[in-house]
Structure 1
């Protein structure tokens, strides 16, 4: 495995694509790790309505927007990605909790 290159060190489109592929794999690994915690949260919660917590969601979004600015990222794009992730997680949690309640 070759060492990561900084963007300015990439000389070709293939160099850039290789770095994006490396980062995509790291993101997938992190999403998989995060998913384990989301699954555990669904196991802990007892009611499907607990999956949607607007106060918590807005606190997360505020934190993401602030951290994005600190990283010189577009905060609107970061918010869009996190809202998508959160919405998927809420629906996933609701499904797990509801299925567990039906099985009782």
Structure 2
């Protein structure tokens, strides 16, 4: 099992707009491709215009297949076009649980 932690710095004046559009148009579509959503978050301390979401995959191959299918989707491309101007920057990290982690 791996976790894909993705964070997006959103232009501060557009955080609410981004979240509203994502909830209404992007979330169900993304879940249909990526599957196991662990959580969606906003930062409260530090970089406060950041959104973070975490997805669980079986392995890197599972992640690659699912993300490729989503990126090939015309519906996903429409959503990305609607929201890309809100995003300042993006970061992705792959997290692997330790052998003693409660989440494995």
Common fold by TM > 0.5? no
Task: Report the TM-score range of the alignment, normalised by the length of the smaller protein.
Answer: 0.3 to 0.5
* TM-score, reference length from structure 2: 0.32
Between the two structures, name the one with larger relative contact order (CA 8 Å, sep ≥ 6): 2
